[in-house]
Amino acid sequence: MKTYFILLAFAFLSVFHSEAAGEKFIRISTNETDLILQVASDGRLYQTYLGNKLVNESEFGKLPYTLGKVNPGASVLKREVYPCSGTEDYFEPAFAICHNDGNLTSILKYVSTEEKRIDGNVTETIIFLKDEVYPVEVKLHYITFAKENIIKSWSEISHKEKKPVTISRYASSMLYFDAPHYFLTEFSGEWAREVNMTTQELSFGKKVIDTKLGSRAGMLTSPFFEIGLGKEPQENSGEVLMGTISWIGNFQFTFEVDNIKNLRVISGINPYASNYELKPGEVFTTPEFIFTLSNRGVGQASRNFHTWARNYQLKDGKGDRMTLLNNWEATYFSFDQEKLKELMKEAKQLGVDMFLLDDGWFGNKYPRSNDRTSLGDWEATPNKLPGGVPELVKSAKETGIKFGIWVEPEMISVKSELYEKHPDWAITLPNRTPYFFRNQLVLDMSNPAVQDYVFGVVDKLMTENPELAFFKWDCNSPITNIYSPYLKDKQNQLYINHARGVYNVFNRIKNKYPNLPMMLCSGGGARCDYESLKYFTEFWCSDNTDPVERLYIQWGFSQFFPSKAMCAHVTSWNKSASIKFRTDVAMMCKLGFDIRLNEMNPNEKLYCQGAVSNYNRFKKVILDGDLYRLVSPYDGNHTAMMYINETKDKAVLFAYDIFPRFDEKLFTVKPEGLDPGKKYKIEEINLMPGAKSSLNFNGETFSGDYLMKVGLKVFSTSKLNSKVIEITAE
């Protein structure tokens, strides 16, 4: 007992002693990255290092940003991990609060650290900080995924003041970088032109990427970014940070280059119109900021994200995905039961797994025949669908395919029975003329009664039709007319509580229907945050299905998401591209069709059937394999990507000539990720019926070494030409 006390006292003293000397380090690491934090002698927490993993812990004290005796003059280099407003750090704070007495300052001091091993690969570190003057606490959370080299970070804020406090900054995390140059790649867009990648150098001051759209938050910019440290982000070399915020609502990234050329990256909820009133004892949990730091360019960073998402984040990340036929572009609102039955037969002929019924099936008093009415009335329209949803599920079963359905349950049309019953459920201003986006309003998800109703839409359909196999969950409007009748004088809680309400419903659905595959859709690809993807198996990348546009859009989303999560459909957009070109593009993701078979000639039909069966044969490689982006569409007239399985014995290479110039010089494409010692057979597949491969090496065998060093001449000077090449180890 005595020895125990002596040991305990010693342990306490030694921690205290090293803290006083400014030498207590907290190490947060994956197999490749170290984030090293230091408790300095002032009791505050600083970031000393974020970079490639260090071998010797004994050298932490020598790191240039270590404070204390090693770097006595280092005070100007202080990089506080969670800096607060009102302190001597004159840059953008991570945290700002108004205390009960009106004071606007906080200083957070280190209290303790807790480390939890979740499994052999995953570790959580929680760092407790508190203000010594006000009863305010912040817990910083970090979860590391060692093998995938991914780190999640978020914070929890709480207090014990007498009355609610107002927090006006509540970052998920703040990170510092130290490089001679910083280049930011952002992903901006609009409806039907998502994720355009543009890169710019950051110099002194701030660049902010944020959104104020509320629920279709990612319509103008997506919740992720890349930073090239030293030089522009490259595919296969250089140090890059790739980060994303798991938040379906307004988000904000602030990139600030400070006086000593540190780059400060602050990620979190956008505090716009959201000074949050936090009650005593209530815990404010920020969304997760998820990042990877790669020293082999964005290609490796993307693969880190893809593997991690499949292993840990995406709903049914390891499971299979269904191919489908969707009727949106094939029919728009004009269909009835008979036409749908015909389409189901076409789906069967095509060989896909499922028929997905889109918008236009609901509304009784106000049947949905255009986008102006009926959202909220989720009953099948009797004169269109006399047998209702049960009849359709039954027909699909008889045809030998599964049946899925589209809903947009967070929305309300003024012309609906729901609005007649519950006008106060809509987010809309009582004293101004409403502004409508796509003729609709957004339901107030901060209201628990609305959450119950929205959950009930899916629950009722599933209860009545337990064999429903799939949901496409849409959200076509940003929040307009920002006013919640439910929140009354607490309007600044609306954006945050609304987003939390949406997640609450997603969570309830997943709990009750854990095996139900669901597609996240938001007027195209305006929703794709990794928190939502816990509840969704996939997302719709864009309403733009022109295959040329899709090459860019899919290139953009592939930076962060595995192909398994990205839905791509073959449609009639851009008919100057052949059905083969359109299908070859969609096959790089989760394949679907949204086209009438009766628009195709027999050869095209045959081609599509062959493509579906090829896809089924190697979809594991595409959906679960490693992606190598070989030639960027941003770099010229051609593009190529490949997927390879874990054992490196099967790969599929996709090559596209977009708009090549006359007689232009063609370069080889060098596959990556192969085993140099293995021999691989090259075979062009997905050819039009009766067509022969134009590749003079088709059917030949090459070593992985040769292929990766010399490459293959797969490009041509024909416009809108595509090739799918199977690479198989012998």
Q: Which is nearer to ligand GLA, 63 or 521 (CB)?
A: 521
Determine the interface stretch with ligand GLA among 205-213, 275-283, 521-529, 656-664 (rule: CB under 6 A): 521-529
Say how far apart CA 604 and CA 346 lie, in whole Å.
14
Please state the closest distance from residue 540 (CB atom) to ligand GLA, in A. Answer: 6
Say how far apart CA 642 and CA 652 lie, in whole Å.
6
Verify binding: residue 34, ligand GLA, rule CB under 6 A: no
Q: Which is nearer to ligand GLA, 22 or 360 (CB)?
A: 360
Size of the site for ligand GLA (CB under 6 A): 11
Among positions 93, 218, 524, 671, the unique one binding ligand GLA when judged by CB under 6 A:
524
Please state the closest distance from residue 522 (CB atom) to ligand GLA, in A. Answer: 7
Determine the interface stretch with ligand GLA among 5-13, 15-23, 129-137, 517-525 (rule: CB under 6 A): 517-525
Closest-CB residue for ligand GLA?
359
Determine the interface stretch with ligand GLA among 82-90, 169-177, 250-258, 520-528 (rule: CB under 6 A): 520-528
Please state the closest distance from residue 507 (CB atom) to ligand GLA, in A. Answer: 23
Among positions 361, 540, 628, 680, the unique one binding ligand GLA when judged by CB under 6 A:
540
| Binding-residue pattern over the window 467 to 506 for ligand GLA, x denoting contact by CB under 6 A | -------x-x------------------------------
Query: How would you classify the pairing of strands 679-685 and 638-644?
Result: unpaired
Please state the closest distance from residue 569 (CB atom) to ligand GLA, in A. Answer: 9
Please state the closest distance from residue 373 (CB atom) to ligand GLA, in A. Answer: 12
Please state the closest distance from residue 352 (CB atom) to ligand GLA, in A. Answer: 17
Determine the interface stretch with ligand GLA among 174-182, 241-249, 494-502, 516-524 (rule: CB under 6 A): 516-524
Q: Is 160 exposed, middle or buried (0-12, 13-18, 19+ CB in 10 A)?
A: exposed
Say how far apart CA 298 and CA 185 lie, in whole Å.
11
> At 363, which amino acid appears?
G
Say how far apart CA 235 and CA 642 lie, in whole Å.
14
Among positions 328, 355, 361, 473, the unique one binding ligand GLA when judged by CB under 6 A:
328
Among positions 543, 546, 549, 657, the unique one binding ligand GLA when judged by CB under 6 A:
543
Q: Which residues of 271-282 are buried (b: 16+ CB within 10 A; e: fewer)?
A: beebebebeeee
Return the SS3 of 562. coil
Nearest to 644 by CA among 622, 613, 612, 668: 622
Q: Which is nearer to ligand GLA, 370 or 668 (CB)?
A: 370
Say how far apart CA 117 and CA 449 lie, in whole Å.
39
Verify binding: residue 358, ligand GLA, rule CB under 6 A: yes
Query: How would you classify the pairing of strands 354-357 and 324-326?
Result: parallel
Among positions 186, 235, 288, 359, the unique one binding ligand GLA when judged by CB under 6 A:
359
Q: Which is nearer to ligand GLA, 147 or 372 (CB)?
A: 372
Nearest to 240 by CA among 284, 181, 318: 181
> What string of H, E and C letters represents the secondary structure of 655-694?
EEECCCCCCCCCCCECCCCCCCCCEEEEEEECCCCCCCCC
DSSP 498-533: HHHHHHHHHHHHHHH-TT--EEE-BTTBS---TTGG
Find out whether 178 and 239 touch, Cβ atoms under 8 Å. no
Verify binding: residue 410, ligand GLA, rule CB under 6 A: no
Please state the closest distance from residue 598 (CB atom) to ligand GLA, in A. Answer: 21
DSSP 413-471: -SBSHHHHH-GGGB---TTSPPP-BTTBEEB-TTSHHHHHHHHHHHHHHHHH-TT--EE
Verify binding: residue 437, ligand GLA, rule CB under 6 A: no
Q: Alpha-carbon Rg of the chain, whole angstroms?
A: 27
Please state the closest distance from residue 431 (CB atom) to ligand GLA, in A. Answer: 31
Which tokens in the block code for residue 377?
A: 């009335």
Q: Is 631 exposed, middle or buried (0-12, 13-18, 19+ CB in 10 A)?
A: buried
Element (H, E) at 722: strand 721-729
Q: Which is nearer to ligand GLA, 357 or 454 (CB)?
A: 357
Query: How would you classify the pairing of strands 650-657 and 638-644?
Result: antiparallel
Say how far apart CA 315 and CA 363 lie, in whole Å.
31
Please state the closest distance from residue 706 (CB atom) to ligand GLA, in A. Answer: 44
Q: Is 20 exposed, middle or buried (0-12, 13-18, 19+ CB in 10 A)?
A: middle
Please state the closest distance from residue 54 (CB atom) to ligand GLA, in A. Answer: 47
Report how far Cα 87 is from the mean position of its chain's Cα atoms. Answer: 34
Verify binding: residue 444, ligand GLA, rule CB under 6 A: no
Dihedral sign, CA of 110, 114, 120, 122?
A: negative
Among positions 523, 562, 673, 704, the unique one binding ligand GLA when judged by CB under 6 A:
523
Among positions 36, 324, 521, 720, the unique one binding ligand GLA when judged by CB under 6 A:
521
Q: Which is nearer to ligand GLA, 189 or 228 (CB)?
A: 189
Q: Which is nearer to ligand GLA, 406 or 680 (CB)?
A: 406
Among positions 406, 425, 453, 593, the unique one binding ligand GLA when judged by CB under 6 A:
406
Q: Which is nearer to ligand GLA, 274 or 373 (CB)?
A: 373
Q: Which is nearer to ligand GLA, 40 or 475 (CB)?
A: 475
Q: Which is nearer to ligand GLA, 472 or 723 (CB)?
A: 472
Report how far Cα 16 is from the mean position of its chain's Cα atoms. Answer: 42
Say how far apart CA 474 and CA 66 lie, in whole Å.
49
Determine the interface stretch with ligand GLA among 115-123, 518-526, 614-622, 701-709 (rule: CB under 6 A): 518-526
Residue 67 DSSP class: -
Please state the closest distance from residue 440 (CB atom) to ligand GLA, in A. Answer: 10
Which tokens in the block code for residue 453?
A: 């109703």
Determine the interface stretch with ligand GLA among 267-275, 519-527, 572-580, 658-666 (rule: CB under 6 A): 519-527
Please state the closest distance from residue 19 (CB atom) to ligand GLA, in A. Answer: 54
Q: Which is nearer to ligand GLA, 185 or 327 (CB)?
A: 327
Please state the closest distance from residue 657 (CB atom) to ligand GLA, in A. Answer: 28
What count of other Cβ atoms lies within 10 Å of the Cβ of residue 240? 28
Q: Which is nearer to ligand GLA, 500 or 527 (CB)?
A: 527
Q: Where are the beta strands (DSSP E) in 103-234?
A: 108-117, 122-131, 136-145, 150-159, 165-170, 173-178, 182-188, 196-202, 205-210, 224-229
Q: Which is nearer to ligand GLA, 331 or 451 (CB)?
A: 331
What count of other Cβ atoms lies within 10 Å of the Cβ of residue 438? 17
Phi, psi dihedral angles at 329 (to 5 degrees): -75, -20
Q: Which is nearer to ligand GLA, 361 or 506 (CB)?
A: 361
Interacting residue ranges for ligand GLA, rule: CB under 6 A: 328, 358-359, 406, 474, 476, 521, 523-524, 540, 543
